[in-house]
Structure 1
């Protein structure tokens, strides 16, 4: 992929200042000039500029894969142009307002452990819906730092260096400043369960027991689709999932089965359908109803899967006659 990069050498690493290229997806390179890319400069991927521009004498310029240059001049890969970003494994610092107003950005891929996230780094990145973390050290990582900067509902997948893998939903939340006139202070009120879910990282380490204990609170405060996502993701990756927690998720999904099946068929989500069958949540009647829905919406693959599962799980009993 053709890419132009403005960068600065800092100590033993590289600070990325600006990227230019083509398209909507940016893959920040792992290394430049033999050094790891360790920092995103302030406003690096924002269409806005920092109040203080870097000293031109320290900025270097490099062109990667010039043979793949497209037609026309490359544009800055920043702001509303970006929809997906892959960050390098050596990245440790994300500068202030680095992603400011990347309003169309939906997916971010992190690698390694982020040590510092600058103020307003993800301000107005309201379209982000999916974050993946790779090569995360279980005892010390920056997952909580990133999640704490984004208040919308997030689908998150974390791959740890010890082989553990989890898929989690973090609900939305927002804060409200309320004036306490008699006391002459401003109180902050948190709305939604998302704030509590983002506190499941004592000393930066994910605590799945705390995460699972919050589910009743989410059921009381969130929409059904969010709660279904919470339950489905924990059942998909049942790391450290107690039997009690598993039962609460199964019980909830069982009570939402009609809506869940309608959503699953509409989205042609075979993965979820397979999970429901594996967890033995579907009755024979559920399978028949879902198969009819699939046929009506042209979801042939889902319909075939359901009929095969129904045949295997609910074999007709052969009648016998005594003579």
Structure 2
């Protein structure tokens, strides 16, 4: 889908996007516009706040069916591999933004880039989970639940609450943090995720967070091959949470292989599954792994 943009030149080869126009709220920005490499997203680019476009260049005439992709009119943004910087308040007040795709080459981020983007729960990072990334700096600006999807796995960071409490008469304040999600966001070494540190947070997480949050952390780490979470998954009923995952069938197969799901769990999951395609695959898995039992037909449910 073609988009219209206002941009300004950074140098003779690259540009900064200042405003985007499209026919729908799903934006896919190309690597090159008018022959220039797209390297930056400008300040307030996707915000409703007015941006000075008097010196900017418009790449195409804006069709009547297009609208400004800002504020509540943007739900998904895919940034190209050429992007290196996100400007200040780039997504400020994008209250319907749900997902964002980031390139591995991102190396700079401005102030309050994601302020009030409380529905942004999925970031797709174009790199592998053990690569050096800019993720720690990104996470400092996101306090709510966020799932980071890499090319080879996903990791979940729960929300946390933070504020300053006055602890002295001379307006001395101390930072008060509630939620293990903050400590999990600090688990990085030399730009890479420190999974030993992240996993060490799990015990305290179990004492503080909801079952759904705990399961989300556990199942994603389990799918990445961590054995630490097997005992937790074996000890808890999984069926009420698994339905929300798109790749539930892949998860179920691995859970059975690791003895974290038995036949009774699978039968309950099948009986509650509304999606016909998923239900069919799950029944095939049951017949494959628990062949001694009679197979089910659709009429059994």
Q: Using structure 1 for the length normalisation, give the TM-score.
A: 0.82
Alignment of 1:176-195 (within 5 A): 176-182=163-169, 184-195=171-182
* Cα separation, 2, equivalents of 1:105 and 1:266: 20
* Cα separation, 2, equivalents of 1:206 and 1:99: 25
Deviation digits for residues 15-71 of structure 1 (CA, Å, limit 9, x no counterpart): 100111211101112112322111111001101125xx36x34x21102xx7xx86x
Q: CA deviation at 1:315?
A: 4.4
Question: Within the alignment, does 1:95 sit opposite 2:87 as a pair?
Answer: yes
Deviation digits for residues 135-189 of structure 1 (CA, Å, limit 9, x no counterpart): 4695642122212211111111123xxxxx2310111112121111346311111
Q: Paired residue for 1:290?
A: 269
Q: Paired residue for 1:153?
A: 145
Residues 314 and 28 of structure 1, relative CA distance in 2, 3 Å threshold: closer
Q: CA deviation at 1:267?
A: 6.6
SS of the residue 1:98 aligns to:
coil
* Cα separation, 1, equivalents of 2:192 and 2:272: 43
Alignment of 1:16-165 (within 5 A): 16-50=17-51, 53=52, 56-57=54-55, 59-63=56-60, 72-135=64-127, 140-159=132-151, 165=152
Rg larger for: 1
SS of the residue 1:96 aligns to:
coil
Deviation digits for residues 189-227 of structure 1 (CA, Å, limit 9, x no counterpart): 111111111111223222222222221122122111111
Q: CA deviation at 1:128?
A: 0.4
Q: Paired residue for 1:252?
A: 232
Q: Paired residue for 2:298?
A: none
Q: CA deviation at 1:112?
A: 2.1
Q: Using structure 2 for the length normalisation, give the TM-score.
A: 0.87
Q: Paired residue for 2:9?
A: 9
Alpha-carbon contact 1:17-1:44 (below 8 Å) kept? yes
2:202 to 215, 225, 229: 215
Q: Paired residue for 2:239?
A: 261
* Cα separation, 2, equivalents of 1:32 and 1:306: 46
Alignment: residue pair count: 291
* Cα separation, 1, equivalents of 2:44 and 2:276: 47
Residues 308 and 141 of structure 1, relative CA distance in 2, 3 Å threshold: closer
Residues 61 and 270 of structure 1, relative CA distance in 2, 3 Å threshold: same
Question: Within the alignment, does 1:272 sit opposite 2:251 as a pair?
Answer: yes
CA-atom RMSD in angstroms: 2.4
Alpha-carbon contact 1:113-1:140 (below 8 Å) kept? no
Residues 137 and 274 of structure 1, relative CA distance in 2, 3 Å threshold: closer
Unaligned stretches of 5+ residues in structure 1 = 160-164, 318-323
Q: CA deviation at 1:302?
A: 4.5
